[in-house]
Amino acid sequence: MSKLYKLDYDSPIGVLELISSDDSVLSIMFREGSEPQYAASDDAPQVLKDCYRQMEEYFQGKRREFTFPYTLDGTGFQKAVWEALTRIPYAQTVAYKDIAADIGNEKAIRAVGHANSKNTISIVVPCHRVIGSDRKLTGYAGGIWRKEWLIQHEKTFRTDQ
């Protein structure tokens, strides 16, 4: 097993714990109720440093797409859902049923929601852009308030207005 590296990014909506191997980001998750614990070290791999920099650019409104490599660990269904999430354009939202249709399983709306909740690459795999059919915000592992903040943040920096 390869060594894991951790680095915290203190975002405007809470601490994001970034975890990577030597060559791939494995997790970007909000950590509740704590100050940043992991600072950059000399032995941190470039992929983790790139992730940190790109998260910073995202929160500054300068980045809309991420280019560092990441690894999604899940079932085939979950990976199909997560891949579909990456096709949602910046600052736009879609309904769970749209993702179900995108993966060719229109009746899997609840399963899509469950797969969304298991996404470990927050923001980069933009599960925050998925909303209910009634256009209301529903479930987000980081909290509905963060989902609302992220959607508003992206709308603020949208360039096609």
Question: Which positions are annotated as active-site residues?
Answer: 127
User: What DSSP string describes 39-85?
Assistant: ---TTS-HHHHHHHHHHHHHHTT--SS--S-B---S-HHHHHHHHHH
Distance CA 98, CA 129 (A): 12
